[in-house]
Amino acid sequence: MDPHMSQQNHSNLADTFHALGARYGARSALVSGARSVSFAGLVATSAQWARQFQAEGLKAGDQVGLVLRDSVDTVLAMVAIWMLDAVAVPIDFRNRADERGRLSEEFDLAALLEDRDLSNGAYRSIACDAGWKDTAARHSDAPVERKGTESHPALISLTSGTTGRPLGIVASHRTIQLRSFGYGFEAHYPFEGKFLNAYPLSFSASRNHTIGQLMRGATVCFHPPIFAADELIEKVNSQGITFLFAVPATVKAMLGLSNGTGKPLMPDLKMLYCGGSGMEAHDKLRAWQELTPGFLHCFSSSVSGTCSVLAGADVASHSHTDGRVLPTVRLEIVDEDHTPLPAGEVGALRVRSHGMAEGMYKNRARDTGDKIRDGWAYTGDLAKVSTDGFLTVVGRSSDMIIRGGANVYPAEIETVLQAVPGVADVAVTGFASVEFGEEIAAFVVAKSGVTEGDLAAECRVQLAPDKRPRKFIFLDSLPRNTNGKVLRRELRASLES
C-alpha cells in the first residue's frame, strides 16, 4: 500500500451498507437468475466473507483483485473488503491467467479472488468456490468493526488499456459516495425501483450505478454480459425495470429494432442512462423519441466523475453536444500551457469536482490520457464549451491526427460520414505518412450499395481538403472493447503492419 494513499477520514462505504441493511432489510438488493440477496443478507454475508478474508491473512490497506464472473459475488466481496478497510481492485473476469499475473504485479495485489485458482503459482489466488463459501458461512455475521486511525481508498479502478497498459485510478470512499449522491444533480435519478445491469462490475460505470442504485434502495438485477438488444428491451418491459445503463453501441442496436412510429419501445422505463463513449447526434435524438423520454447521455471519466449531461428538452435542441456542464463541476478548456481558452475554442478538458479521483496509482499517467495535475483532473479529451454552458467533446488527445501540421479531429469526419444514407458505423484514424506525417483513414460499416465514391463525394462537399480521408476501408463491424469503445489502435495497426 502506498503511504500517500492513506487518509485520516475514516468514512467508509461499509458503514453505508450497514445502514442500507438496517433501512431496507428483507427487500431484494441483488438478483441474478434465481438467486436473490436481500439488503440485510448482503451485509450479513459480506461480514462472514470479511472474517474469512481475515482468517486468510488479509488486512487493512491490502489491495485485493476481484476477478469473479458472478456479479452478486463481486458485490459481496467488494463490501467485505471495505469492512476490512482493504482496497478493492475490480478486474475483468475474461482476462487470462498470464494477464492476471501481470496485473497482480503491477498493482501490488495481496491476492486475487477468483472463481477457481488459475495462478499456477504466479500470484496468490483465493478461489471463491462452493467450499470456500461454506467455510465463510460458519463465521459470525455480526458487523466487522474497523480499527486504527487511518483509512484507505475504496477502489483502484483500472483503465481499459486501449492505448497501452492499464493505469490505476485511486478513488476514496468519500469520492464514491459523492459520485452516487451527485447523480441527483443530473436528472430524475430513480429511487427504490429496479436496475437492469448487463455489464461487468470491472466497468466503472456499471459499478458506480450499482452502488448509486443500492444507495437509493433499488434492486439491482444482473443480466449475463453477452446479450442481444431485444433481450434487454423484453426484460425491461416484462419485469418493471425503472433504470437501465447502456453504452452507445447497445443503444444503437436497440434503435435498429424501432419501427420509427414515435411510440417508445420502453415507455415505462424511467431512465435509460447512456455513457462510456461518444454518440452520434441523430442517435441521441432517436433514443429520446423512440426508446424512452427518460433517455440521458453523459460525459464522464473514471478520473473526473460525471462532467455533463444531456437530457429532457436539451436532447432536442442540443443533440450535437455532450450536454450541460453540471452545476457542481468546475470545468475548463485549456491550451498546451494550461491557460484557459475562451468559449468555443478547442483544447484539453480539465475538471475540479466532487467526483474527481484522489490520484493515479504510483503517479503513473500518460501525457495524452487520464492524469491529475496541479489539483485538476485531466481526462485526456479535447473539447469546447459554448457560451451557454454546453460541452462538446471532439475526441481523445491521443486520437487527434496531425496532417501536414494541421490538427484534424476524427469526430468531425465521423459526423459527416454518419450522415451518408446506408452508413451504420464509422471510425476515423490516422496512419503514418512520409509526406504529411499522418494521413487519414475512415473505417466504415455500411449496407450493401454504399461505395467509396459516395463517401468521398460527401467529404468533398462537407470537409476542407486537408480533412478528407485518403483511404476508405469497409468492415463488417468495428473492433470494440467490453465498454463499447472503438479500438482505434487496432485499426491503425492494420494499416501500418
Count CA within 13 A, CB hemisphere, residue 227.
24
Spatial contact of 175 and 358, defined as CB atoms under 8 Å apart: yes
pLDDT, mean of residues 306-317: 96
pLDDT, mean of residues 440-463: 93
Give 222-242 pLDDT, tens digit per residue.
998 878 999 999 999 999 999
pLDDT band at 1 (very low <50, low <70, confident <90, very high): very low
CATH number, domain of 444, equals 3.30.300.30
In a domain, 233, yes or no: no
Spatial contact of 6 and 31, defined as CB atoms under 8 Å apart: no
**What pLDDT is stored for residue 3 in this prediction?**
41
CA distances from 405 to 57, 395, 408 (A): 57, 18, 9
Domain of residue 109: give its range: 3-152
pLDDT, mean of residues 117-124: 95
**What pLDDT is stored for residue 8 in this prediction?**
54
pLDDT, mean of residues 43-67: 97
In a domain, 51, yes or no: yes
**What pLDDT is stored for residue 4 in this prediction?**
44
Name the domain count of the chain.
Answer: 2
Q: How many CB atoms lie within 10 A of CB 4?
A: 11
Cell of 194: 429496479
Q: What is the mean pLDDT of the chain?
A: 91
In a domain, 328, yes or no: no
Spatial contact of 382 and 400, defined as CB atoms under 8 Å apart: yes
In a domain, 388, yes or no: no
CATH number, domain of 124, equals 3.40.50.980
Give 187-199 pLDDT, tens digit per residue.
788 888 999 999 9
DSSP code, position 319: T
Count CA within 13 A, CB hemisphere, residue 218.
26
pLDDT band at 315 (very low <50, low <70, confident <90, very high): very high
Give 273-306 pLDDT, tens digit per residue.
999 888 889 999 999 999 999 999 999 998 999 9
pLDDT, mean of residues 330-338: 95
Strand ranges (E), 434-487: 437-446, 471-474
272 or 302: whose pLDDT is higher?
A: 272
pLDDT, mean of residues 314-337: 95
**What pLDDT is stored for residue 166 in this prediction?**
86
In a domain, 31, yes or no: yes
Of 131, 152, 173, which residue constitutes the final position of a domain?
152
Give 479-495 pLDDT, tens digit per residue.
988 777 888 889 998 98
Give 130-163 pLDDT, tens digit per residue.
999 999 999 999 999 887 767 899 999 998 655 5
> What CA dihedral angle connects 149, 155, 156 and 161, to 10 degrees?
-170
**What pLDDT is stored for residue 159 in this prediction?**
83
316 or 489: whose pLDDT is higher?
A: 316
Identify the burial level of 145 via C-beta atoms within 10 angstroms of its C-beta, where 0-12 means exposed, 13-18 middle and 19 or more buried.
exposed
**What pLDDT is stored for residue 2 in this prediction?**
52
Of 121, 152, 183, which residue constitutes the final position of a domain?
152
pLDDT band at 406 (very low <50, low <70, confident <90, very high): confident
**What pLDDT is stored for residue 427 in this prediction?**
93
- In angstroms and rounded to an integer, the radius of gyration of the C-alpha atoms of the chain is 23
Of 152, 167, 193, which residue constitutes the final position of a domain?
152
How many whole angstroms from its chain centre is CA 234? 24
Spatial contact of 169 and 361, defined as CB atoms under 8 Å apart: yes
pLDDT, mean of residues 236-249: 94
Q: Is the pLDDT of residue 368 over 70?
A: no
**What pLDDT is stored for residue 162 in this prediction?**
54
Q: What does the DSSP assignment read for 343-368?
A: TT--EEEEEEETT--SEEGGG---TT
Q: Is the pLDDT of residue 205 over 80?
A: yes
**What pLDDT is stored for residue 448 in this prediction?**
83
In a domain, 220, yes or no: no
Spatial neighbors of 130 by CB under 8 A, at least 6 apart, are none
Percentage of residues in the chain having pLDDT higher than 70: 96
In a domain, 316, yes or no: no
Q: Is the pLDDT of residue 119 over 60?
A: yes
In a domain, 489, yes or no: yes
